[in-house]
Amino acid sequence: MRSTVLEYDISKVIELARVGKRVDGRALDEMRDFTITLNKFENAEGSAIVQLGETQVISGIKMLVDKPYPDNPNEGAISVGAELLPLAHGDYEYGPPSMDEIEVARVVDRGLRESKAIDFTKLCIKEGEAAFVAFFDFYAVNSDGNLFDAGSIAGIASFLNAKIPKLDEENRIVKQEYAGKIELKRIPLLTTFVKVGGRILVDPTYIEEKAAEARFSVATTDDGFMSAMQKGVGGSFTLEEVNYMIDTGFKVANETRKKLLKMVGKK
């Protein structure tokens, strides 16, 4: 029953895409509206609830003290985790991390990490001995596609508001006390596209992702850099299509960034 409905929806999405239309009436290069709720979760060092269309993710940062990696003794680190909770969709299941969860976490991670937005040396406490590790985890609570961009927005919102825990003389975290904030040198944001019926759609919904021949994400910064790319799903893109998506990615991300910074009170 469910799959019959799904097949019908998918064929509808493809049919509309062929004539440049989308089921929800959006333009092909139009992102869904989003809202951000900041620092709702008090146990986290920084947290955000992001609602992108009907997609909802909750996210938070926990900072722990650990020994720096031997090859970077003067740097801290970040870690990104993603869970597609079975709460969020009837298709998701509990269990060890799925391929999709690992991919979305790693793409969000790369967009953030490779942009060098966070100065890891500032997370170092004592060279070779102690450094902060910022664990950013996000969870899908309701899934209607494009967890890449939702996770990316949640990441930036959380990091922009994350407080660094206070330490005692032995570099142990003093609970509920903070000293300083994490600084971001630039703001990288992911923009995700799918190819449906030969057309390129930005910010796909769940059903558009199901209808997709191929998927592409690009992380772009406010100062004109690209920090990560990822092509997914079986199909292919021409170079022209990739270039179009990169250019559109810069444009869409700029608008998203403006809205985001306004929402988190940074501009």
Partner 1 sequence: MSKEEVIDYKKTKKRLDGRKMDEIRPLSIKVGVIPNADGSAYLEWGQNKVYAAVYGPREALPKHTQNPYKAVIKAVYRMASFSVPDRKRPGPNRRDHEISKVLSEALEKVVFVNQFPNTEIAVMVEVADSNAGSRVACLTAAACALADAGIPMRDLVSAVGVGKAFNEIVLDLNKDEEDAPDAVDVPLAIMPTTGEIVLLQMDGLLTRKEWDAVAALGIKGCQQVYEVQKKALTERFTVEELNKKAVEKAVGVEKNTKKEVVLEKKVDKVDKKEKESKTEKKGKDSKSKKVRK
Least gap, CB of 32 to partner 1 (angstroms): 14
- Cα–Cα dist 11/51, whole Å: 27
Q: How many amino acids of this chain bind partner 1 (CB under 8 A)?
A: 40
Least gap, CB of 263 to partner 1 (angstroms): 20
User: Residues 89-118 vs partner 1: string with x where CB under 8 A?
Assistant: xx---x-xx---------------------
Interface residue with partner 1 among 34, 36, 50, 83 (CB under 8 A) is: 83
**5 Cβ partners below 8 Å, 6+ apart?**
none
- Cα–Cα dist 216/234, whole Å: 11
**210 touches partner 1 (CB under 8 A):** no
Q: Are 9 and 25 in contact (CB under 8 A)?
A: no
Interface residue with partner 1 among 13, 31, 36, 44 (CB under 8 A) is: 44
**21 touches partner 1 (CB under 8 A):** yes
**19 Cβ partners below 8 Å, 6+ apart?**
none
Interface residue with partner 1 among 98, 142, 248, 254 (CB under 8 A) is: 142
Residue 133: count of CB within 10 angstroms of its CB: 16
Amino acid at 89: H
Interface residue with partner 1 among 50, 77, 88, 264 (CB under 8 A) is: 88
Give the burial class of 160: count Cβ atoms within 10 A of its Cβ; 0-12 exposed, 13-18 middle, 19 or more buried: buried
Tokens 């994350």 sit on residue: 162
Least gap, CB of 39 to partner 1 (angstroms): 10
Site residues (vs partner 1, CB under 8 A) = 16, 19, 21, 23, 25, 40-45, 47, 54, 56, 58-62, 64, 81, 83, 85-90, 94, 96-97, 135, 137, 139, 141-144, 175-176
